[in-house]
Structure 1
Amino acid sequence: MRRSFYEFLMTLRNADSVEPEAEFAMNAFRDTSFPKQEQNYQKLSEYLELNAGYLPSMTIFDEAFQKYQETDKK
């Protein structure tokens, strides 16, 4: 079974890092409403655009989602 984007994102979590994807992961971890089971780009994007003031740029999400898709192909 394919893992969710949230499960992938948690592999990028690092409290000591200032990298944008690590900060995104930490903030998503703290976001109790984050759609943890979602795999769909459009639904995740919509959620983040409407609810994630902690994400300074959707480019960070786009790059993380691209990595998510690449790891799923392996």
Structure 2
Amino acid sequence: MRKSFYHFLMKFRHPEPKDAISVFANYAYADHSFPKHTSDYHELSTYLELNGDYLESMSVFDEAWQLYSQTESGS
């Protein structure tokens, strides 16, 4: 079964974030409304465009999504 994007993202959480994806992961963890059970790109991107003011740029999400897609496809 495919894990949710949130579950994947949590492996990047770090008490002292070293990159933008780690910062994103920390903020997503603290965002109690983050859609934790989905793996739908459009649902996540829409949510972040409307509520992800903690994101430096949507390109951070796109980079994390690309890593997620590669991991989940087994590439």
Q: Compute the TM-score of the two structures, normalised by the length of structure 2.
A: 0.95
5+ residue gaps, structure 2, are: none
CA deviation vs aligned residue, 1:26-63 (integer Å, no higher than 9, x gap): 00000000000010111100000001110010000000
Give the Cα–Cα distance (whole angstroms) in 2 for the partners of residues 3 and 28 of structure 1: 16
Map of 1:50 onto structure 2: 50
Question: In angstroms, what is the RMSD of aligned CA positions?
Answer: 0.7
Give the Cα–Cα distance (whole angstroms) in 2 for the partners of residues 8 and 58 of structure 1: 17
SS in 2 for 1:37: coil
5+ residue gaps, structure 1, are: none
Map of 1:71 onto structure 2: 71
Q: Compute the TM-score of the two structures, normalised by the length of structure 1.
A: 0.96
Percent identical across equivalent pairs?
49
Residue pair 1:15, 1:23 contacting (<8 A) in 2 also: no
